[in-house]
Structure 1
Amino acid sequence: MALLEVNNLKKTYSTRFGGNKVEALRNVTFSAEEGEFTAIMGESGSGKTTLLNILASLDRPTGGEVLLNGRDITKITEKEMAGFRRDHLGFIFQDFNLLNTLTLKDNILLPLVLQKTPYKQMISRLSPLAQNLGISELLDKYPYEVSGGQKQRAAAARALITRPELLLADEPTGALDSRSADIMMELLAKVNEQGQTIIMVTHSIKAASYAKRVLFIKDGQVFHQIFRGNRSNEEMFSMIAQTQTILINGGDLNDRQ
């Protein structure tokens, strides 16, 4: 059984006065195996952010289901929701979402504090994770004292320290310079190789080229997908770029894999 199963997912929004309805998602169906790294791409307004918000249980669909380890997260009650996100999901946001009044160490440990994890266990998780992400020397600094790339690595540590079943990343390189973006994606690829399942929404072809699979969303539907196989990042980059060009120009993708 796949770790994540999305079946016939629909999301319809009504305009302010209810006169018109907008279909943000239409019968979206796909699955993700444990240990997979999936990138979701699409033009602005394609529905990819709506999809990510539903996977993150931050929004509810109009129809369909989202199964995480067999449990339909769309049926989780509001009372259970915060605890479910904290215990099962990890989040990396474009704008970091770190608290400036806390050190990087305290920002990273915050999810475990909320889980009432014993302090010794917190530190035993923090040390190897910080070392893996290259921020061991920065833990006593505050977010405003470090670079954007360092903030994002701290945000990644915060997302990973609970050992989530699913890591969701929303434009994780969007606020970074090119060098910091490369470092961030190399770290995510490394974490994925260690077994972490990742779903990432991105506009960046280069970021998507690190994934094992790329899903293209168009007009609220999964329109096409590319599997890495034995391809290098450079080959993935080329295929993604070509596919985006075809999608934008309304071409035929039937012969592509």
Structure 2
Amino acid sequence: MPLLKVEHLQKEYRSRLSANKVQALKDVNFEVEPGEFIAIMGESGSGKSTLLNCLATIDKPSAGQIFLNDKNLTKLKDREVAQYRRDHLGFVFQDFNLLNTLSVADNIYLPLVLAKDTKGKEAKLAPLAKALGIEDLLDKYPYELSGGQQQRVAIGRALITKPELLLGDEPTGALDSKNAAEIMDLFDQSNQAGQTILMVTHSSLTASHARRVLFIKDGTVFHQIYRGEQNETEFLLSINDAMTNLLGGLS
């Protein structure tokens, strides 16, 4: 049974200054199986960020349905959305979104605090901090860390609740190549441990870590490729070929 199912998703924006409508998502359909690692790629304005925001329950679709473990997210009441997001989803953002007034440990604990589930929090943090290589940073503050270190903390915050689905919004976009590679290695390890990941990226190199890539254009998912038995380098070449052909209007 799919973990995530997206059916005929649409999102329309109306300008406050005119009667014009912008169709950001037209008819998006796809499924995600438990344990998959999927990248979503597309040009700026293709609808990939809007899609991620709808999946994250940050934005409400105009039509269509989103099911996570058979729970229809489009039917959640406003008062239910924040709690559901906190309990079932994890987020890794391009700009980290850490709180400089909290220590690294407290930033990671934040989802547990909001959920009022702090019992045994140290035991939950210890193996996570070791896996992320931030054991020596827990008492520091975000402004004392490098970009790569801050993103490791953000990943820890996203994973501390053991979410059903981890959503990444350009998670390597603000990092240099070395730190980006290290962060994607952490994503690989998390996925190999069973974490389901769906990630929006413009980078073919970042996408080559996924097991499947969905291509979105003009608000529709219109092509996908699977990694299969290819290694990262071979899959990177396949992604680049697909991008060249698809953006050139070929199918």
Equivalent residue number for residue 250 of structure 1: 249
CA–CA separation in structure 2 for the residues paired with 1:114 and 1:61: 26
- Tell me the CA shift for residue 247 of structure 1: 1.7
Amino acid aligned to 1:178: S
* Residue identity matched to 2:152: R
Task: Say yes or no: does 1:158 pair with 2:160.
Answer: no
User: Which residue number in structure 1 is paired with residue 123 of structure 2?
Assistant: 124
Matched, 1:80 2:80: yes
Moved over 4 A (4+): none
CA distance, structure 1, for counterparts of residue 151 and residue 230 of structure 2: 27
Distance between the aligned counterparts of 1:139 and 1:219, measured in 2?
Answer: 43
TM-superposed deviation, 1:23: 0.9
Report the Cα distance in structure 1 between the residues aligned to 2:128 and 2:118, rounded to whole angstroms: 17
Q: Which residue matches 1:110?
A: 110
Distance 1:110 1:232 in 2: 37
1:2-151 counterparts in 2 under 5 A? 2-119=2-119, 121-151=120-150
**5+ residue gaps in structure 2?**
none
Residue 174 of structure 2 corresponds to: 175
The separation in 2 between residues aligned to 1:35 and 1:18, in whole angstroms, is 44
Quote the Cα distance in structure 1 between the aligned partners of 2:90 and 2:113.
Answer: 15
Q: Aligned partners of 1:250, 1:201: CA distance in 2, in Å?
A: 22
Deviation at 1:17, TM superposition (A): 3.2
Counterpart AA for 2:166: L
Distance 1:219 1:112 in 2: 38
**AA matched with 2:225:** I
Paired AA for residue 62 in structure 1: S
TM-score (norm 1): 0.96
Q: TM-score, normalising length from structure 2?
A: 0.98
Secondary structure of 1:163's match?
A: coil
Deviation for aligned residue 1:115: 1.5
Amino acid aligned to 2:128:
L
CA shift digits 1:112-167 (9 cap, x unpaired):
11112244x11111000010011111111100111000000000000000000000
2:184 aligned with 1:185: yes
Distance 1:13 1:110 in 2: 33
- Paired residue for 1:217? 216
SS of the equivalent of 2:224 reads: strand
Cα distance, 1:18 vs structure 2: 4.2
Question: Alpha-carbon deviations, 1:75-97, whole Å to 9, x = none?
Answer: 11111111111100000000000
* Identity across matched positions, percent: 59
Which stretches in structure 1 are left out of the alignment for 5+ residues? none
Task: Give, as a single letter, the amino acid of the residue that structure 2 aligns with 1:132.
Answer: A
SS at match of 2:10: strand
**Counterpart of 2:99 in structure 1: which amino acid?**
L
The CA distance in 2 between the partners of 1:62 and 1:111, in whole Å, is: 29
Query: d(CA) in 1 for partners of 2:22 and 2:99?
Result: 35
Q: Which moved more, 1:109-118 or 1:185-194?
A: 109-118
Q: Secondary structure at the match of 1:215?
A: strand
